[in-house]
Structure 1
Amino acid sequence: MERNSMMSLLARHGRRTRLRTRPAHLPLVAAILTAVTVTAAPTAGADETNCGGTHFVASWAASPTDALAPVDAAGAPVPLAVADQTFRMIITPHLGGTQLRVRLTNRYGLGPVTFARVSVGNQVAGAAVDALTPVSFDGGASVTVAAGAEILSDPVPFAVAAFRPVAVSIHVAGVAGPPTKHWNANATSYYAGPNSGDLTGQPGPEQFASTTGSWLYVSALDVRAQAATRSVVAFGDSITDGFVGTSAIPVPVDRAVADVNGRYPDALQRRLDAAGIPISVVNAGIGSNRVLTSGEPLMPGASGLARFERDALEQSGVAGVLVQEGINDLGLPPAADAAGMIAGYQQLIAMAHGHGKKIWLGTLLPASDALVDGVALAPRSESDRQQINAWIRGQRIADGVVDFDVALRDPDNPSVLRDDYSGPDRLHPNLAGYRAMADVIDLGMLSTAGSPRC
């Protein structure tokens, strides 16, 4: 790596910044070097040194995937051009509070985008909202975000309740290219037609005639929480993202699972809440994502190694990351082998520890009878999966292990999912399977990751 590039990377970790631009993709060796030489990235509230008071903690997140896929996971069209219109994105926070801030993204935009007005409100039903509250950026209502950049709003007084849907309404002024999105939201959001203008102050649903199963422009919501509260990031692929298919071919997504918040991180959040543990679980899963291989510019997104810092380690109040990813590396061409995957996991561990965060590894689920990622098209995938899982169980460099494989595999045929936990494609769990994934996670293990404020 050139000296100027390394100095730029160090500078980015040495100061807080509200407007973030796309980092250069680093070679794998440099990723390890970065992990062991760069000190922990500042988190919201890091300027306060005691454990009292409050800080901002991620309550919801969705990793940007792309801007070019023309349809969402259910096959509905997604805008590839924007013209003076308003998008009403419905998100479900995991942590409540009385103050929030919103992160908007233009990570995969082809040019600058102007967010002329933004508001938040509580979803009443569909696109109907109440308690509309304007959002500002450095004191102004409008902000222009360059291609590759993201912007964090000012703190907004607004009552957020866990699992009560929040509507983020975004008016894009003028003409813009395809919006950066999270491809498979497993949630229904809304948008108005071109040239319909600013509807961010409109509580009614009348002009929001179009629906989408993607999240456009919005990538995170933070809430102000007590100092001991922290976030844990669930990092992975479509299994973390909560995908449930409809047939042997994974797409389209089963729309029956939309808006039920049935992903394993959702079920894990409910367990933590019931136990009174002040941890917010945020989701950094991306469908078809791989640890080693990038899918940019299409919806699989940047590789896990390339996006780990931004999508996981830079979340507000993050204390640890639970990684369950790798089945696509084994099943999709060019297929990785066990040795390459283990090296990739070691790099993720080094990056997390280099930032002072805990990291836990989840074993890979069986999929030998799946059409995608199974042995019919990837003959080595099952043997490599078993080698990887053996390494995950035996290694001692991560901070813990979650054995998802044992929890969901068929005891009579450990190379496949249990029938009662499998979706139709035999690759993704069904909702019962996702609950089983959450149930096998040791809450005490997660609790060992203390707040970055304390």
Structure 2
Amino acid sequence: MAAPTDSLSTSDPSLVPQASVADQTYRLILTPHRGGSTVRVHLTNRARPIPIDIGHVTLGKQSAGAAVQADSLREVTFGGNRGVTIPAGGDVVSDAIELAFDAFEPLAVGVHVPGVGVLPTQHFNANATSYYSLPFTGDQVDDPSGSALSLRTSSVPLVAGLDVTAPGNVGSIVALGDSITDGYVAANYLGTPQDVSVVDRNVRYPDFLQRRIDAAGKPFTVLNAGISGNRVTRDGFIPQFGPNAVARIQADAIDKAGVTDVIVAEGINDLGIPIGADYDQVVAAYNALIDRLHAAGLRVHLATILPTGGALLDGALTLPYAEPVRQRVNAWIRDQRRSDTVIDFDAALRDPAAPDTLAPSYAGPDKLHPNAAGYQAMADAIDLRIFESRCS
């Protein structure tokens, strides 16, 4: 899953400029948490104000970089047609495609946009490298070498996810959150650009959680619905931070195939981005999320907010300072009985000697986002017994 964020594709999290113009081919890399042999591709135009024409789509297994395994390339159709027009604000789902692949085996979705492709809907922080061609270079999706795909990005435009056919007892766990669910790791104390050493490594906490679930033999697939900068009470401070969690809960959680459980792990951006939300606003938004999810018959696992002491973003630069509100919100999360369970990420990652900060072994350079070890610790803090099997 790659939750749509915006269509302001000027640069990616590595500050690499983006150049979507017209008549271009994209090879977009997604790493599925579940293997299988039948798959559907979700394409999105959710944030673009005008329709977008898709001329040709393929699916294959990535071999290296922009190249795919030639014998794995499959044509992707939409209602039997090779091309499709996605309306403004809309999404489309492909016909079923037969392709056998394993969990965590990178797949490449090739997309040719024959017309104007300016401002494609994207997932801003993909934490994976995708590839695309220069403008006006035509349809290259059938070329397994990817030699014409000379541009790269760590955002993912156009593709919102994959569905994999699974047995009836398999459920989906949606990890709804912000940049900490998205797996962002900063390169420096300022918080930007991203640390490129974690890109393409699948070291987000939902990745580690999936590995734990697989090792335990539990029938669940984890969908990452994290959006960097996302808030529960308000839309993103900038467009890349996406619509607020209450507004996107239907599309990004409730409507997902096979969903049974939702982990809600966000709120620090509500407190930390000036002018910060207050305690009552954050709690009201949590209650709204819980009500919507319960009404859809889903289990809700509400997570505490990680500490940000020593950080600039969502920390020292916050006006007003958020730490007292975070402590009060976390106390409410631990005490309330409206969610099905509570996941205490704060207790798992805070420094025992300075509880308002991340433990040094878990903190990334900006002291706001965990490092890979911190994301592993988050996954390890989740009691897998909270997830119950679906009835087949």
The reply to whether TM is greater than 0.5 is yes
Tell me the residue number matched to 1:70: 10
Q: 1:75 touches 1:252 (CA, 8 Å); kept in 2?
A: yes
Tell me the residue number matched to 2:323: 382
Change in CA separation of 1:110 and 1:272 when aligned onto 2, cut-off 3 Å: same
Alignment partner for residue 397 of structure 1, among 328, 332, 338? 338
- Alignment partner of 1:341 is 2:282: yes
Q: Secondary structure at the match of 1:322?
A: strand
- Alignment partner of 1:285 is 2:233: no
Q: Distance in 1 between matches of 2:78 and 2:61?
A: 20
- Alignment partner of 1:89 is 2:8: no
Q: 2:237 touches 2:273 (CA, 8 Å); kept in 1?
A: no
Q: Distance in 1 between matches of 2:30 and 2:21?
A: 21
Q: Distance in 1 between matches of 2:242 and 2:38?
A: 31
List structure 1 runs of 4+ shifted beyond 6 angstroms. Answer: none
Q: 1:375 touches 1:382 (CA, 8 Å); kept in 2?
A: no
Q: 1:66 touches 1:296 (CA, 8 Å); kept in 2?
A: no
Report the CA distance between 1:334 and its aligned residue: 2.2
Aligned pairs, how many? Answer: 390
Paired residue type of 1:383: P
Q: Distance in 2 between matches of 1:347 and 1:160?
A: 38
Q: Distance in 1 between matches of 2:79 and 2:274?
A: 45
Report the CA distance between 1:297 and its aligned residue: 6.7
Tell me the residue number matched to 2:372: 431
Report the CA distance between 1:414 and its aligned residue: 0.4
Report the CA distance between 1:193 and its aligned residue: 1.1
Trace 1:50-449 onto structure 2 (pairs within 5 A).
Answer: 61-79=1-19, 81-130=20-69, 131-295=72-236, 298-446=239-387, 448=388
Q: 2:9 touches 2:119 (CA, 8 Å); kept in 1?
A: no
Paired residue type of 2:196: R
Tell me the residue number matched to 1:11: none
TM-score under structure 1 normalisation?
A: 0.84
Once the two structures are superposed, residues 44-98 of structure 1 have per-residue CA deviations (whole angstroms, 9 ceiling, x without a partner) of xxxxxxxxxxxxxxxxx0111111141000000122x431111000110000111
Report the CA distance between 1:379 and its aligned residue: 4.2
Once the two structures are superposed, residues 235-271 of structure 1 have per-residue CA deviations (whole angstroms, 9 ceiling, x without a partner) of 0100000000011211100000000000000000000
Report the CA distance between 1:205 and its aligned residue: 2.3
Q: 1:365 touches 1:405 (CA, 8 Å); kept in 2?
A: yes
Once the two structures are superposed, residues 112-145 of structure 1 have per-residue CA deviations (whole angstroms, 9 ceiling, x without a partner) of 1111110000000001101100011011111001
**Structure 1 segments unaligned to the other structure (5+ residues):** 1-60
**Structure 2 segments unaligned to the other structure (5+ residues):** none
Once the two structures are superposed, residues 391-432 of structure 1 have per-residue CA deviations (whole angstroms, 9 ceiling, x without a partner) of 111111101011000000000110000001000101000000
Paired residue type of 1:270: R
Report the CA distance between 1:332 and its aligned residue: 0.4
Report the CA distance between 1:160 and its aligned residue: 2.4
TM-score under structure 2 normalisation?
A: 0.97
Report the CA distance between 1:189 and its aligned residue: 0.5
Q: 1:409 touches 1:415 (CA, 8 Å); kept in 2?
A: yes
Q: Distance in 1 between matches of 2:172 and 2:318?
A: 38
Change in CA separation of 1:373 and 1:297 when aligned onto 2, cut-off 3 Å: closer
Q: Distance in 2 between matches of 1:296 and 1:353?
A: 28
Most deviating of 308-317 and 264-273: 308-317
Q: Distance in 1 between matches of 2:23 and 2:193?
A: 30
Paired residue type of 2:101: V
Report the CA distance between 1:293 and its aligned residue: 0.9
Report the CA distance between 1:375 and its aligned residue: 4.2
Q: Secondary structure at the match of 1:137?
A: coil
Report the CA distance between 1:110 and its aligned residue: 2.6
Once the two structures are superposed, residues 18-37 of structure 1 have per-residue CA deviations (whole angstroms, 9 ceiling, x without a partner) of xxxxxxxxxxxxxxxxxxxx
Q: 1:369 touches 1:376 (CA, 8 Å); kept in 2?
A: no
Q: Distance in 2 between matches of 1:139 and 1:151?
A: 13
Tell me the residue number matched to 1:39: none
Q: 1:78 touches 1:212 (CA, 8 Å); kept in 2?
A: yes
Q: 2:36 touches 2:165 (CA, 8 Å); kept in 1?
A: yes
- Work out the percentage of aligned pairs sharing the same amino acid: 48
Paired residue type of 2:358: L
Q: 1:86 touches 1:200 (CA, 8 Å); kept in 2?
A: yes
Report the CA distance between 1:284 and its aligned residue: 0.6
Q: Distance in 2 between matches of 1:87 and 1:205?
A: 10
Most deviating of 64-73 and 116-125: 64-73
